[in-house]
Amino acid sequence: MDIIEIKNLNLFYTNFHAIKDVNMKIKANKITALIGPSGCGKSTLLRTLNRINDTIEGVRIEGDVIVNGKNIYDPDADVDRIRRNVGMVFQRPNPFPLSIYNNVAFGLQINRLVSRKDETDFIVKESLEDVQLWDDLKDKLKMSGLELSLEQQQRLCIARLIAVKPEIILLDEPCSSLDPMATAHIEELMQELKSKYTIVIVTHNMQQAARISDETGYMLLGKLIEFDATGKIFTNPSKQETDDYVSGRFG
C-alpha cells in the first residue's frame, strides 16, 4: 500500500530549480533509499516530505505531496501535526542537553500529548526498548544524552522521534558520522523498525542502500532518473544514467 505519493513536484531556491518534476510513490512499512551524487537534490526531496524546507528563505514549491490521501501542502494543512507524523533524523546525532529521560519525553511534553507521569514513563520505556537502549540505560535515565556514544545518541534521537508515534521516519544520512560497526547496528535497527514505520533514507553509501532498502530512487541534477525495486536498480537498471552511477562509471 502506498503511504506517500509525490506528484509533479518542483522546488526552487529563489531562482535555482532544485527539484524538477518528481513523481514517485512510497510504500508503507518499507525502506526506500534515495541515492545520487552530492548536490543532486536527494536531501532536499527528503525534506519536502515533512515541510522542513518551509523554514528556508526563498523556497517555493509546486506540486503535491500526498500522505495518507491528504496533500501536506494544502493551505489549511497543520504543519505541526505533519512533522509529528513524519519525523526526521539528521546526519549527526543531535540529542538535547537534557537527561536521557527528558530527551525521549521532550516531544510528548511540548506537544502536551500526555498528562500523567506514568503515561510518560511507559512511552519512554517503550521507545527506548524499540531502539534497543532500555536494557543499557534503564538505570541511567538521569544521565545527559550528550554523554552517550555517537551510536547511542543516534538511537536516542530515533527514540525521541518515535515517542510521539509517527507513521513515517525520514533519515538523512544517519550513519555518516558513525564507524562501520555502529553503522551495522543502525542498519539492523532500521530493518526492525520497518514493521512499525515507513522509512525513507538518503545515503551516499550505495552498499548501504543495496543492503537495507526495498526500493531505491536515483537522482541526478534535481531529477528522479529511476525508481524501482532495489534489486533491479543495482543489477538491471532501466536507464543508462543509473547504470553508470551504480557501476561506478559516474559520480
The answer as to whether 130 is a domain residue is: no
Q: What is the CATH number of the domain that holds 179?
A: 3.40.50.300
How long is the chain?
A: 251
Closest of 103, 150, 109 to residue 128, by C-alpha: 103
DSSP class per residue in 56-116: STTEEEEEEEEETTEETTSTT--HHHHHHHEEEE-SS----SSBHHHHHHHHHHHTT---S
Domain count along the chain: 1
* pTM of the predicted model as reported, rounded to 2 decimal places: 0.94
Residues spanned by the domain of 47: 2-95+167-246
199 contacts 190 by C-beta, under 8 angstroms: yes
71 contacts 77 by C-beta, under 8 angstroms: yes
The answer as to whether 102 is a domain residue is: no
The mean pLDDT of 11-24, rounded to a whole number, is 96
The answer as to whether 149 is a domain residue is: no
The answer as to whether 105 is a domain residue is: no
pLDDT, residue 251, reads: 55
The answer as to whether 153 is a domain residue is: no
- Show the cell assigned to 251: 559520480
- Looking at every residue in the chain, the average pLDDT score rounds to 94
The answer as to whether 220 is a domain residue is: yes
Element (H, E) at 168: strand 168-172
- Convert the pLDDT of each residue in 103-129 to its tens digit: 999 999 988 888 899 999 999 999 999
- Convert the pLDDT of each residue in 29-50 to its tens digit: 999 999 999 899 999 999 999 9
